[in-house]
Structure 1
Amino acid sequence: TTHFHYLEIQKEKIDFSILINITDSLSELDSLKIHSLSLSSTKSLSMEKIIRQFISNKNKITKICLENMIEIEEVYFLIKLCPHLNYLQINSLNTIDIELFVQNIINKIKNDYNHNLRVLCFCISIADDDLVQEFEEMVISQNFFLDYTIKRELNHIYITMKI
């Protein structure tokens, strides 16, 4: 038997149902990289209902890279789809309110009690030390974490939450 541990899907806008089928079929998959996700067929159903109906805890995905995020619900979906997720990287955040986006993602992690997710990585073309400082102030003012680090490497900002 062949086990796949890493999968990169280059198709633009892979439908969420296809992604669910793939993760269901490749139960040993650890890392996933996708270009973008289509949630268009979820509009008539609630996301929670879809997640409860289709998602099992059997997938072992711990790392996801999302190349192009269109809407924040894609990230919420991926967090729910992969209960063992501990590393999430989003590579295209240039056209949104970055601070608000990061704040919403962190709130979602805390509210959904995703205790596995430890590292958020954001690729931001305007990443600089001032943006890192703004993230620091946001984390402190919102009381998100007691123990964390925020660091920048070129245009990547990493928020690492410690247990």
Structure 2
Amino acid sequence: MNLNELIHLSIFSSDLDFDVFQFFIELIHSNLQILHVNFLKRDIRFLHADRWQKLLLENFSQLEKFSLCYREPGYGDNYPIYDGELNQFVSSFWIQRNLIFDIEIWEYRIYYFVRPFKKRWYDYSIEHSKSAQLTIKYVYCNELPNILLNQIKRVLNFTQIYHLNIEQKISTESLMQIIHLLPDLISLKISALFYYESILQFGDHEFPTTSALEHASNIKYVCLEMTFTMDDISFLISFCPRIEYLNVECIENMNIQSFLREILNKINQNHHKYLHALCIYIITADKQMVKQLKQMIDDEKLLLNYTIHRQLYNIYLKWK
């Protein structure tokens, strides 16, 4: 096989360190157009953006697509030391190629990705320098919280986190412990919430730290994939007082008109001056439903200057 003719190369390795990989890749001298690499070996140099930039610029002038996945296994106590700068993958080199830095936590493993940016659930423009997202895919429910918190602290050695996505049900207490560590959050997406009895009434009880409340006040966009009670929405609106956009699922077996009425009444009663956009996911959404909701809003004067429309199973409401 003539490596010089390669145009597409995918590498998965648990043995190569960065130096060996670099030596191999520099031998190719091909017109490579697509490069996907996935590494399991503990070598922190795989996360040095300047080395990647130099390697790609000097060897693959025709490269069109690139992605990197680097996995760190373990509990978080014996990771290799990272001595680089924060937020390395935000230079013009990466911006021009529409590549962003993302992190995922799955059980005891941390996955670091450099990959093309894809549209996310919030329909708002975000600076490339503030695109880093942490996704908590799965952690053991009975696991000590310190393991996850130490993993997040590890991630913060590499980058600030601006977007948090939690893909499993989480307690409000655990959520606040996580947000305590993340002062720069812009968006928050949660699969589902559950409560300990002592914190059902937001504002009437002590929380883990005031820092969690301060950090939550910076969050602008919130998505709750599964809504079980109105307490879920009440908590999020109170916990994130500067929320601008809320995306929720209609409670199962609850009339959509009653659901929307309760949300808007809560917003109006609490005089939320930041929240001006709402998306409700309901699988039975249709034109007639939108018409009925508009009639209810007008008749009950729930909103004055607003727009409402449907896209597939989502009903969007915006007001001034």
Structure 1 length normalisation: TM-score?
A: 0.89
Displacement of 1:51 in angstroms is 7.3
Query: Deviation above 2 Å: which 4+ runs of structure 1?
Result: 40-43, 45-48, 50-59, 91-95
Aligned pairs, how many?
160
Contact 1:124–1:156 (CA under 8 A) maintained in structure 2? yes
Q: Look up the match of 1:19.
A: 175
Mapped partners of 1:69, 1:148: distance in 2: 24
Question: How far does the alpha carbon of each residue in 1:31-87 deviate from its partner, in whole angstroms, 9 at most, with x for none?
Answer: 1111100123336x6333137885634431111110111111010000000011011
Matched ranges for 1:1-163 at <5 A: 1=86, 2-12=159-169, 14-42=170-198, 46-50=201-205, 56-59=213-216, 60-162=218-320
Q: Conserved in 2, the CA contact under 8 Å of 1:93 and 1:122?
A: no
**Contact map agreement 2:220 2:245 (CA 8 A) in 1:** yes
2:260 aligned counterpart, secondary structure: helix
Supply the AA of the counterpart residue of 1:46: Q
CA deviations 1:124-160 (Å, max 9, x no partner) are: 1110011101110111111122200001011100010
Query: Which whole-Å CA distance do the structure 1 matches of 2:256 and 2:206 have between them?
Result: 26
Cα offset, 1:92, TM superposition: 4.7
Conservation of the 8 A alpha-carbon contact between 1:67 and 1:92: no
- Note closer, same or farther for the CA distance 1:128–1:10 as it changes in structure 2 (3 Å cut): same
Q: Is 2:277–2:316's contact at 8 Å kept on the other side of the alignment? A: yes
Residues 74, 42 of structure 1: CA spacing in aligned structure 2 closer, same or farther, 3 A cutoff?
A: farther
RMSD: 2.0
C-alpha deviation, 1:91, in angstroms: 2.9
**Equivalents in 1 of 2:249, 2:189: separation in Å?**
11
Structure 1 stretches of 5 or more lacking a match?
A: none
Alignment gaps of 5+ in structure 2? 1-85, 87-158
Whether the aligned pair in 1 keeps the contact of 2:182 and 2:215 (CA below 8 Å) is no
Please state whether the residue corresponding to 1:32 is helix, strand or coil.
strand
Residue pair 1:51, 1:80 contacting (<8 A) in 2 also: no
Structure number with greater CO (CA < 8 Å, separation at least 6) is 1
In the alignment, is the contact (CA less than 8 A) between 1:57 and 1:83 conserved in 2?
no
TM-score by length of 2: 0.47
Instruction: Using the aligned pairs only, state the percent identity.
Output: 30
Give, as a single letter, the amino acid of the residue that structure 1 aligns with 2:234: Y
Contact 1:4 1:28 survives alignment (8 Å): yes
Using the TM superposition, give the Cα deviation of residue 95 of structure 1 relative to its aligned residue in structure 2, in angstroms.
2.4
Between the aligned partners of 1:123 and 1:46, the Cα distance in structure 2 is 26
**Contact 1:93–1:123 (8 Å) recurs in 2:** no
